[in-house]
Amino acid sequence: MGYTIAEKILAEHAGCEVTPGQIVNVPVDMAMANELSAALAIKELNNWGIDKLADPNKVCLIPDHFQPAKDINAAGIAKVVRDFARKHDVKYYLEVGRAGIEHAVIPLEGIVLPGQIMVGGDSHTCTAGAINSFATGVGSTDIAGAWATGEVWLKVPQSARLTYTGKLRPHVYGKDLILHTLKDLGTAGATYMAIEYQGDVFEQLPMSDRFTMANMAIEAGAKAGLFQFDDKTRELVESTPRYKSDKPDYTIASPDADAVYAMERTYDVSDLEPQVACPFSPDNVKNLSALHNVKIDQVVIGACTNGWIEDLQRAADIFNGRTAHPDVRVIILPGSQMIARQACDLGLPQIFIDAGCVFSTSTCGPCIGGHMGVLGEKEVCVSTTNRNFAGRMGHLSSEVYLTNPAVAAASAVLGRIGSPDEL
C-alpha cells in the first residue's frame, strides 16, 4: 500500500512504516511559537526544571499577536520571550519590524522547507503545508517538549484528497475555493485528517492562494493541509533568504499512485462565484449574489490568510482611483515586513492611503479581537481573515463576514457587501 504526502513525510522522519492511527515519535525540523504560546511553553520548561534546548537552531519565536505591544501586559509577555531567546541563543527570534505574522514569515523566509516537519503553537501553523511540508498546530506543552527533546509524538492522520477542476471566473480566488469546500465539509468534516489539495485549477493561481487554502484547512478540523511540490513551489522556496544564503537540502514528498484516502472530493469550480462566510461560522457560506444590502462598518484586508502581496494587489486594483465609503473604516494588514516592502515597491500604500485606508504594520491584532481594529457593539465587518465566530473580532454582538480581498475592497467602497463587478 502506498503513502499519501503526510504519511510519506512522517514515515521518513520516524524511520519506519506508518499507518493511519499509529502513534509515532518524530524529530521536528522546526518548533515555532508566537509570544503567547511561547510564554506558556517557557513556563512549562521552568516547571520541569529544564534549562537547555535540544537545538536552538530549530526553534523559531515570532511575536505577532498583541505586538507591537498593545499594553503593559503585552509588553511584559514579549519581554519574557525576548529574554528567553537571548539566553538560549535562539537562531530564529524574529523581532517586530523584522518579521510580521508567523504564518507568512515562516515560508517566505525559508525557515521551514519541503518535506520537513514543523510544529507550531498556533492552529494556523498548517499554512506552511502549501510548500509540501507537514506543518501542524500543537499546544504549548508539546512545544516545550519539542524544544527540550527535539521530538514530538503525533498520531498519523488519515488523508483526504480534494481535487479542483475548471476555469475560474473573474474575482474568484483560493479564498473562495476553501470557503466553498467548508460549505461542503463543515467545520468538522476533516477532523484530524491531512488534506491534500490538487487539481488543474492551481495552475491558474499563484502560491499565495495555496497558502490561503492550507491556512484554512484547520477550519475543517484538519491536522494539516498540503500541496504537491511543483515549479511554483520550487521558485518560491529557492527565492527565500535562507535558501539563497545556505542552500539547504530538502526533500520532496509526492503521493504514491496507490495511496489510500479516507475521503475524496472533486469540485468543478467553473461556475463558482465569490463566496462569503456569514456569521457565525466559516462554514456558513453563501454566494456573494445572495447577500443584499448588508451595511458594514469596517473592512479588514490581510493578516495570515490573505495578507500576501497578490492579495494586496487585488485590493489595490479595486481601490485605485476610488475612496472607501465615508461610513466604513478600512484596515490593511500585510502578512509580513517582506510583503510590506513589496507593496511599497509597487506603490500600493499610496493607493490605500489615498482611498482612506489605514495601512498597518503586520500584526494579528484585529483578527483575534486584540487591538488595532476591535469591533464594537453590533458592528459589522467584512474581513479576509479565517474565523468569524461570535466575539472573534470584538463585541459578542458584532458580526464578521469572510471574503476574498477583491470583494472586501469593493464592499469598502460600496458601504455594504458587494461585488467588484458593481464598480
Place of cell 457593539: 377
Average confidence score pLDDT of the chain: 97
Number of neighbouring beta carbons within 10 Å of residue 338: 20
What is residue 57's predicted lDDT score, i.e. its pLDDT? 97
Interior/surface letters 162-195, b for 16+ CB within 10 angstroms, e for the rest:
bebeeebeebbbbbbbbbbbbbebbbebbebbbb
- What is the pLDDT, as a whole number, of residue 9? 98
**Average confidence (pLDDT) over 14-19:** 97
How many Å apart are CA 414 and CA 45, to the nearest integer? 51
User: What was the pLDDT predicted at 1?
Assistant: 79
The pLDDT value given to residue 247: 93
pLDDT value of residue 218 = 98
**Whether 256 contacts 153, CB under 8 Å:** no
280 three-state secondary structure: coil
**pLDDT score of 372:** 92
Model pLDDT for residues 132-184, shown as the tens digit of each residue = 999 999 999 999 999 999 999 999 999 999 999 999 999 999 999 999 999 99
Please check the confidence at residue 379 and state whether its pLDDT lies above 90.
yes
Residue range 385-397, pLDDT digits in tens: 999 999 999 999 9
Helices (H), strands (E): how many in the chain? 14, 18
- Full set of structural domains in the chain with CATH: 5-265 (3.30.499.10), 275-422 (3.30.499.10)
Residue entry with cell 499563484: 206
User: Could you tell me what percent of the chain has a pLDDT over 70?
Assistant: 100
Q: Is residue 298's pLDDT more than 90?
A: yes
Taking the C-alpha atoms of residue 313 and residue 408, their distance in angstroms, rounded to an integer, is 13
Q: Does the pLDDT value for residue 119 go beyond 90?
A: yes
Of 313, 342, 308, the closest CA to residue 406 belongs to 313
Nearest to 171 by CA among 277, 315, 291: 315
Q: Global pTM?
A: 0.97
pLDDT at 186: 98
List, for residues 72-83, the tens digit of each pLDDT value.
Answer: 999 999 999 999
